Amino acid sequence: MEQRILVCDYCPGARRRPAVARYGLTNGRGIVPVATLDLCKLHQGQLLRAFKPKGKQPALPSSKEALAERTARVLAYLKQHPGPHRRSQVAQALQLKPHSVTDVFRRLSPKQVKPSGVGRMRAYEWRA
């Protein structure tokens, strides 16, 4: 009868230790792992330490606070620079991503901003 003993994939050839854990790479949908890794206790600890956060990390701003801050910046830019502006111009001037500027424009009321044009060529200007 043949027996198989799992050994660590990271240990060098002649001194391979028995594996105590198997890690698999999946997309989280319950399918068969794309790749697996058998590790001994020593290498398992090294892997877990590599993915452990170090120190205190700053909290991410809530989405409402970030949206309010972006909205204030976009409105201030439109007030200071009269005339129609495309979203790419505003994004470049404020160093924001174009999709976040689009999100701000979608949420603003027509009383604040006047849209003109269609699709990608749409421009917005401050409505006084």
Domain boundaries, the chain: 13-50, 63-126
At residue 34, the pLDDT reads 82
Residue pair 125/78 in contact by the 8 Å Cβ criterion: yes
Taking only the tens place, the pLDDT of each residue in 37-95 is: 888 888 888 888 888 777 776 766 667 888 889 999 999 998 999 888 888 899 999 99
Residues 19-28 as b/e (b if ≥16 CB within 10 A, e otherwise) read: bebeeeeeee
Domain 63-126, classified CATH 1.10.10.10, yes or no: yes
Q: What is the model's pTM?
A: 0.50
pLDDT at 108 > cutoff 90: no
CA dist., res. 73 & res. 67, Å (int): 10
Give me the helices (H) in 54-126, please: 63-80, 87-94, 98-107
Amino acid at 25: L
Q: Is 59 strand, coil or helix?
A: coil
Widest distance between CA atoms in the chain:
87
Rounded mean pLDDT, 110-120: 81
Taking only the tens place, the pLDDT of each residue in 2-32 is: 667 788 888 887 778 888 888 888 877 777 8
pLDDT at 1 > cutoff 70: no
DSSP H or E stretch at residue 50? helix 41-50
Tell me the two tokens of residue 93: 């001037």
